[in-house]
């Protein structure tokens, strides 16, 4: 008697994000891209694995597991170690993403050279798919990143790169970048969803089986997210974002995901002509150096990760020559600045409706924390009245639509930081717990509304 075979179903996959569906659609249901869903072939009938053939390593009690093999090893790049939680972990796979030209290759080449040439030299393999070995050597000479234990390989074929790993057995592998490697066994060009998935899976398998730390460089999309399938971020152990303005030397490294340490640390780097260096105390980088007070400037303290940073907000107002006044921002969220302009006009009586407003930060830093709202408002009020704020003063606090100044986290930590930098006055939001211990010689004034802050900082001029 003939048995009926189940008809194999055709599947369709999005070439951008890897989303699959049983029928063809014109628009991806995951990433909403048009025209990217393509037929991938037939699915085999699902079976069920009932038993393993052999056990490679028997299970053991968790207390008997040797954790010494997963200890941190410093890279001797101070800010990189800070973000990673202490350094590199053997067998860990780290993905570093950032825009082109931000300095990803320079940072990893410097770290690779320091790992290879440290007190206890280790073998490091740097696989480049975007440049030739000679080009990497020129950059290494420029930033003084040379070491006898650092090996270069210009490969774009995954099997060739794995052969280099097999022959050299490095303790650290750097792949620049994961989107340039391709496997000949997978259809599609390098950088496609299938290729990136295969390359990442092969490199992760090699890293885990060899206990080899692996650093992967990843590209970003126009929206700033990591290119390739989201599966890539789930497979790796650490995901870091390297960001900064191309017109500024300051670069920030953030950990988006970290299985071995915190995800709220931020590393600061200075990208120079001769390389990249760690900046352990970046507070002074985002403050202008004017000899006399200038109207329209106010200092604030923002917390990036666990690190309080001193930043300066500048505002410039001019009477508009058009019916629609201009609103321009740099380093700040434009929609939030527009909200603060409305609050100032409605709740504090500052006439700004007919003024062109330009608000910017100093040093190319981007301020996203709501704690800088009070500094933005005071800078705008200072520019509107053409009266500079007192010297050695900082302001921070979140402002609501009702004009209230709301408490922010880490008030005492911010005060301690600005006191260390030589400031003597602070205007902070009132909180039930208070500002905490105040340093000697430091004055703190608590406010509850933006109008109260203006009365404090801009008292009426004597008649």
The binding site for ATP consists of 98-105
Tokens describing residue 253:
């490294």
C-beta separation of 446 from 406 below 8 A: no
Which residues participate in the annotated binding site?
98-105
Chain CA centroid to CA 219, Å:
13
Q: Please list the residues that pair with 329 across neighbouring strands.
A: 359
C-alpha span between 226 and 304 (Å, rounded): 21
278 CB-near residues (< 8 Å, 6+ apart): 77, 78, 79, 80, 267, 268, 269, 270
Q: Please list the residues that pair with 314 across neighbouring strands.
A: 297, 360
C-alpha span between 146 and 153 (Å, rounded): 15
C-alpha span between 450 and 344 (Å, rounded): 8
Neighbours of 31 (CB within 10 A): 15
3-state secondary structure 103-141: CHHHHHHHHHHHHHCCCCCCCEEEEECCCCHHHHHHHHH
Burial of 101 (0-12, 13-18, 19+ CB in 10 A): exposed
Q: Helices H, strands E: what count in the chain?
A: 10, 21
Q: Please list the residues that pair with 27 across neighbouring strands.
A: 34
* Closest-CA residue to 163 (of 189, 184, 187, 134): 184
């Amino acid at each position: 008697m003939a048995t009926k075979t189940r008809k194999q179903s055709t599947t369709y996959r999005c070439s951008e994000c890897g989303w699959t569906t049983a029928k063809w659609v014109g628009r991806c249901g995951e990433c909403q891209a048009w025209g990217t869903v393509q037929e991938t072939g037939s699915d085999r009938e699902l079976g069920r694995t009932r038993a393993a053939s052999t056990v490679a390593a028997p299970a053991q009690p968790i207390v008997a597991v040797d954790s010494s093999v997963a200890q941190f090893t410093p890279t001797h790049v101070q800010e990189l170690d800070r973000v990673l939680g202490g350094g590199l972990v053997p067998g860990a796979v780290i993905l570093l993403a950032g825009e082109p030209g931000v300095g990803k290759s320079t940072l990893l080449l410097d770290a690779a050279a320091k790992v290879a040439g440290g007190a206890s030299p280790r073998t490091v393999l740097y696989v480049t798919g975007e440049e030739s070995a000679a080009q990497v050597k020129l950059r290494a000479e420029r930033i003084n990143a040379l070491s006898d234990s650092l090996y270069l390989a210009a490969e774009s074929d995954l099997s060739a790169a794995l052969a280099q790993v097999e022959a050299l057995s490095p303790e650290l592998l750097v792949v620049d970048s994961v989107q340039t490697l391709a496997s000949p066994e997978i259809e599609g060009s390098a950088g496609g969803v299938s290729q990136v998935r295969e390359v990442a899976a092969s490199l992760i398998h090699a890293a885990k089986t060899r206990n080899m730390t692996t650093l992967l460089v990843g590209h970003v999309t126009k929206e700033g997210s990591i290119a390739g399938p989201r599966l890539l971020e789930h497979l790796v152990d650490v995901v870091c974002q390297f960001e900064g303005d191309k017109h500024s030397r300051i670069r920030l490294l953030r950990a988006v995901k970290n299985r071995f340490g915190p995800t709220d640390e931020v590393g600061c780097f200075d990208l120079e002509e001769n390389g990249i260096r760690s900046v352990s105390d970046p507070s002074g980088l985002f403050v202008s150096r004017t000899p006399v007070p200038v109207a329209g400037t106010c200092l604030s303290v923002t917390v990036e990760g666990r690190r309080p940073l001193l930043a300066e907000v500048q505002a410039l107002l001019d009477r508009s020559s058009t019916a629609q006044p201009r609103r321009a921002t740099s380093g700040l969220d434009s929609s939030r600045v527009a909200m603060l302009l409305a609050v100032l006009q409605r709740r504090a009586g500052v006439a700004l409706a007919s003024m062109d407003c330009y608000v910017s930060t100093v040093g190319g830093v981007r301020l996203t924390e709501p704690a800088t709202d009070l500094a933005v408002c005071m800078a705008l009020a200072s520019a509107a009245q053409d009266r500079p704020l007192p010297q050695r003063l900082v302001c921070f606090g979140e402002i609501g639509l009702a004009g209230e100044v709301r408490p922010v986290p880490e008030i005492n930590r911010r005060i301690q930081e600005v006191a260390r930098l030589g400031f003597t006055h602070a205007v902070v939001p009132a909180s039930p717990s208070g500002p905490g211990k105040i340093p000697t010689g430091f004055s703190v004034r608590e406010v509850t509304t933006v109008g109260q802050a203006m009365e404090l900082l801009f008292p009426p001029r004597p008649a």
